[in-house]
Amino acid sequence: MRPKKVYTKDNFDALLREHYPLKGSGATSEELIKRLEGTNFYVDPASGRFHNNYPGGLVDHSVRVGRLAVEKVERALNGSYRYNMLRSDDVPYPLDDPEMMQQFKTETLVAGLIHDFCKIDSYAKPDVATPKQIQYAKVLLQQSQIRGPDSMADTIRSGNISKPACSDAIEFLKENPTATELPTFVEGYGYSDDKPFGHGEKSVIVALQMGFELTEDQILAIRWHMCSWDIANIISGIQKVDFEKALNQSLMLKCIVCGDLETGFIYEPTL
């Protein structure tokens, strides 16, 4: 079930037109939108088998993260976290300059909009299950106690089921031979990355290649937005030091991370 409110290309484009500033000789928002239209960004899912795994899920996720990150910035400026989140030995934020703080919120929004550019053109619907897979699933289904209407069982019987979902159904039926119903197995998308630059790193690279001009704060926020997921994969002690330093000095990074987690875990479903 999709969320009641789904953000689309129109929402993304409107925010980019309103908030992306033309600096120096960089591309205009219209040029950037045109370049994005040459990709699958507006129809890609946000994930293969988890949050917002449906066509258009990525643009919805991007808008949500941008908007939520700005909300976090506003709370940090006005609430009890004002000191802890804004005081930094490396980057003192201009608390008493409304114009500078508005610019910071705008830059945070843009960082949220483009934080997952690494996922552009990286998803495809998985292949349909092989006849052998489907036949085996049907045999296990017949041996089970599932007799009445069951949407997942009906999908298997029709033969129109993806390889991942069919494999999950087979494993479930092997482990639960007397099951009376099947859970819903996610059809999902396959992920194929022909440019293995990393996650946050790739998002920065793709954005720069498209012509986005980014501040150092935006680069830090996008590069490290995976936070604990990045840490789990970090081998180099130098990388760990870099991550901790980025987290300490960048309010934008903190707010992007919080917005990303909140929208993925709370607002975005798995279909």
Q: Which domain holds residue 114?
A: 9-124+192-267
CA gap 152, 9 in Å, rounded:
32
In-domain check, residue 2 = no
d(CA 239, CA 31): 35
Pair (89, 102) in one structural domain: yes
Can you give the pLDDT at residue 229?
A: 60
Do 135 and 117 lie in one domain? The reply is no
For 65-113, the pLDDT digits (tens) are 999 999 998 887 775 444 444 444 444 455 567 788 888 899 999 999 9
pLDDT recorded at residue 91: 47
pLDDT tens for 112-137 read 999 999 999 999 877 789 999 999 99
Q: What DSSP designation does 257 have?
A: H
In contact, 199 and 223? CB cutoff 8 Å: no
pLDDT at 247: 82
- Which amino acid type is present at position 48? G
Residue 1 lies in a domain: no
204 and 79 part of one domain:
yes
Give every residue of the chain whose pLDDT is below 50, as ranges.
Answer: 1, 80-92
Residue 238: predicted pLDDT: 65
pLDDT score, position 23 = 57
pTM over 0.85: no
pLDDT at 169: 93
* Same domain as 143, residue 49: no
